[in-house]
Amino acid sequence: MKRLYRSKQDRMLAGICGGLAEYLDADPTIVRVVTALAILFTGLPAIAYLVAWIIIPENPSAQSGA
């Protein structure tokens, strides 16, 4: 079963867009650009991003960058 996690490797802030891109098999840059544009024009995804930061767990199986 496919699960949504925050990315540990592909992150700019909290790993939400990187994790969503991994889940959707998409380019993380495209997900970030779409998210940034949606926040600029509507503001609503900013609230969703903060909620996702709290609710979505980090990927436990990913290797840490250290």
Q: What's the pTM value of the predicted model, to 2 decimals?
A: 0.73
Give the pLDDT confidence of 51-62 residue by residue, as tens digits.
988 898 888 875
Q: Look at residue 6 in the predicted model and tell me its pLDDT.
A: 84
Burial class (CB in 10 A: 0-12, 13-18, 19+), 22: buried
String of DSSP letters for 1-15:
-----B-SSS-SSSS
Q: Report if residue 45 sits inside a domain.
A: yes
Q: Look at residue 5 in the predicted model and tell me its pLDDT.
A: 87
Q: Report if residue 4 sits inside a domain.
A: no
Q: Which phi and psi angles does 30 have, rounded to 5°?
A: -65, -45
Q: Look at residue 30 in the predicted model and tell me its pLDDT.
A: 92
Helix, strand or coil, per DSSP, at residue 58: strand
Q: Report if residue 11 sits inside a domain.
A: no
Q: Look at residue 27 in the predicted model and tell me its pLDDT.
A: 92
- To which H or E segment does residue 42 belong? none
Total number of domains constituting the chain = 1
Contact criterion met (CB below 8 Å) for 22 and 7: yes
Residues of the chain with confidence (pLDDT) below 50: 66
Q: Report if residue 33 sits inside a domain.
A: yes
Domain that holds residue 42: 22-55
